[in-house]
């Protein structure tokens, strides 16, 4: 490998001059700079990134922790987010370092930052009172969350407006003639689920549907839970004509239950999911769902992160992006 010294010798200058050409070219007179640049080109010299990082005190790496997933688990939105984030990071000279999540961010996240392996983190799947948020904030580690965390710690976040999404889903169901809509969501305490539900209920109220006519069931986010919830709803009240689910996996279960009762999704019962995961388009019939602008989220996460690195004292920035309705056949 060509070294800084090789370049200095070829150009007949000191190592410091070569370093200045690389890091502070304004300080070097033009003829000298051109001679050094020619030597760099002739020798094919590439500065070692570790040496550059030592000088700049930045690694240009962004840490992203991934939850371990079993073979049958899916996190389609997050998988798309990983792709989008790596592309948006590359535009600004950053790369994404992925690592497995552990229970304690003090064990996994802090050492990666303390050793300057990464300049900070993007957190996904945030929960209310997320431990990672508390640990990183306390240790002044730069980070941005995709999704809000809702704890006592104010922090930079990019989120998709679940309330607007809930409104979109309800408006779609009612505009197709539904008058007895129901909602299946997660246990209380999920910020995303509760925002989606609130938007949904708001539109129903605006349409004059009494709150007591609307059944809300809370389940986990597995397909089986969707099946069971939909069977409970449709057997308990055959007039229910629309079921909105807080995620596509629950909606997959709802579709299965609808079919098992010999009803037709999109005709007898409107079914609307959330997230526009890839599975939604491939179901039979394809699922109507509320989509998230994943690429725009990635763009905003990167720009927010860079702004935070540049100014650790800047006010906290929370950006809310708009979801969109993807109308298919259900």
The region of 23-31, 41-49, 139-147, 304-312 touching its own copies under the rule CB under 8 A is 41-49
Query: Residue 284, interface with its own copies (CB under 8 A)?
Result: yes
Select the residue interacting with its own copies from 100, 152, 208, 210 (CB under 8 A). 100
Query: Residue 46, interface with its own copies (CB under 8 A)?
Result: yes
Q: Which is nearer to its own copies, 94 or 200 (CB)?
A: 94
**Least distance from C-beta 203 to its own copies, angstroms?**
25
Contact 30, 37 (CB under 8 A): no
Query: Residue 49, interface with its own copies (CB under 8 A)?
Result: yes
Query: Residue 86, interface with its own copies (CB under 8 A)?
Result: yes
Query: Residue 138, interface with its own copies (CB under 8 A)?
Result: no
Query: Residue 252, interface with its own copies (CB under 8 A)?
Result: yes
State CA 312 to chain mean position distance: 22
Contact 36, 21 (CB under 8 A): yes
Q: What is the CA radius of gyration of the chain?
A: 26
Per-position x/- string for 54-83, each x denoting binding to its own copies as judged by CB under 8 A, each - no binding: x----x-x----x-xx-xxxx-x--xx-xx
Beta partners for residue 34, in sequence order = none
Select the residue interacting with its own copies from 4, 9, 43, 97 (CB under 8 A). 97
**Least distance from C-beta 204 to its own copies, angstroms?**
29
Query: Residue 103, interface with its own copies (CB under 8 A)?
Result: no
Show Cβ contacts of residue 236 under 8 Å, excluding neighbours closer than 6 positions: 215
CB under 8 A, 24+ apart: contacts of 149-153: 149/123, 149/191, 150/191
Contact 246, 219 (CB under 8 A): no
Query: Residue 229, interface with its own copies (CB under 8 A)?
Result: no
Query: Residue 48, interface with its own copies (CB under 8 A)?
Result: yes
Cα 317 to Cα 157: distance, rounded to the nearest angstrom: 7
Query: Residue 321, interface with its own copies (CB under 8 A)?
Result: no
Cα 196 to Cα 11: distance, rounded to the nearest angstrom: 64
Residue 109's φ and ψ, nearest 5 degrees, are -85, -50
**DSSP classification of residue 265:** B
Cα 67 to Cα 204: distance, rounded to the nearest angstrom: 36
| Contacts to its own copies by CB under 8 A | 46-54, 59, 61, 66, 68-69, 71-74, 76, 79-80, 82-83, 86-87, 90, 95-100, 111-112, 114-117, 223, 249, 252, 255-256, 259, 276, 278-279, 281-284, 291, 294
């Amino acid at each position: 490998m060509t070294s800084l010294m090789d370049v200095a010798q070829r150009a007949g200058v000191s190592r410091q001059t070569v370093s200045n050409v690389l890091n502070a070219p304004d300080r070097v007179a033009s003829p000298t700079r051109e001679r050094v640049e020619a030597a760099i080109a002739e020798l094919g010299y590439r500065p070692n990134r570790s040496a550059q990082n030592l000088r700049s005190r930045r690694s240009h790496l962004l840490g992203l922790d991934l939850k371990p997933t079993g073979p049958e688990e899916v996190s389609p939105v997050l998988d798309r987010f990983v792709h989008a984030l790596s592309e948006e990071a590359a535009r600004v000279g950053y790369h994404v370092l992925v690592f497995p999540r552990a229970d304690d961010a003090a064990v996994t996240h802090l050492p990666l930052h303390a050793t300057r392996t990464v300049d900070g983190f993007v957190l996904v799947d945030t929960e209310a009172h997320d431990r990672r948020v508390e640990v990183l904030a306390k240790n002044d580690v730069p980070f941005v969350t995709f999704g809000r965390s809702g704890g006592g710690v104010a922090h930079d976040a990019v989120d998709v407006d679940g309330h607007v999404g809930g409104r979109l889903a309800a408006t779609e169901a009612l505009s197709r003639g539904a008058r007895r809509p129901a909602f299946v969501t997660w246990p209380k305490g999920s910020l995303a689920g509760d925002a989606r539900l609130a938007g949904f209920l708001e539109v129903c109220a605006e349409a004059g549907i009494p709150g007591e006519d609307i059944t809300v069931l809370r389940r986990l986010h597995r397909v089986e839970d969707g099946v069971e919830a939909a069977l409970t709803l449709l057997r308990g009240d055959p007039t229910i004509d629309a079921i909105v689910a807080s995620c596509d996996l629950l909606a997959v279960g709802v579709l299965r239950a609808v079919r098992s009762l010999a009803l037709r999704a999109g005709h007898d019962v409107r079914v609307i999911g959330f997230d526009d995961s890839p599975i939604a388009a491939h179901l039979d019939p394809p699922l109507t769902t509320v989509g998230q602008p994943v690429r725009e989220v990635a763009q905003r996460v990167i720009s927010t992160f860079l702004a935070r690195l540049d100014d650790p004292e800047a006010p906290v920035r929370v950006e809310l992006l708009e979801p969109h309705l993807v109308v298919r056949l259900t």
